[in-house]
Amino acid sequence: QVQLVESGGGLVQPGGSLRLSCAASGSIDSINKMGWYRQAPGNERELVATITWGGSTNYADSVKGRFTISRDNAKKTVYLQMNSQKLEDTAVYYCTGYKTSWSRKPDFGSWGQGSQVTVSS
């Protein structure tokens, strides 16, 4: 099994920055890609960004140019740097893991945890 433990999140003003971290443990050799989803109240869960251990990234159009996903392979940790935040970035953010780099649907997720990010003035 894989455990994903998040940290970070909180309250930020519009235009501000926050960073999320997610550390994977357990059967980490089964993970080849990690990423982030988010879910705002009343909305469906949506993909934010993914990154393979090789460094290939993918972003939702709504966060391109503002968010940066990165990883530390040795620590099996993924980060999400969120800059120029907007009100619509308010959501619960979930860390995800994928067994293959081409998987579109996450195999693991911190669905029971999540990190609240609130953008408000």
d(C-alpha 96, C-alpha 101), whole Å: 12
Are β-strands 91-98 and 33-39 bridged in parallel, bridged antiparallel, or unpaired?
Answer: antiparallel
d(C-alpha 96, C-alpha 34), whole Å: 5
Structure tokens at 37: 């989803």
Are β-strands 67-72 and 57-59 bridged in parallel, bridged antiparallel, or unpaired?
Answer: unpaired
d(C-alpha 56, C-alpha 93), whole Å: 21
Per-residue pLDDT of the chain (121 residues; tens, 9 = 90+): 889 999 999 999 999 999 999 999 988 888 899 999 999 999 999 999 999 989 999 999 999 999 999 999 888 899 999 999 999 999 999 999 999 999 999 999 988 889 999 999 9
Picking from 60, 102, 76, 84, the residue whose alpha carbon sits closest to that of residue 21 is 76
Picking from 97, 99, 87, the residue whose alpha carbon sits closest to that of residue 22 is 97
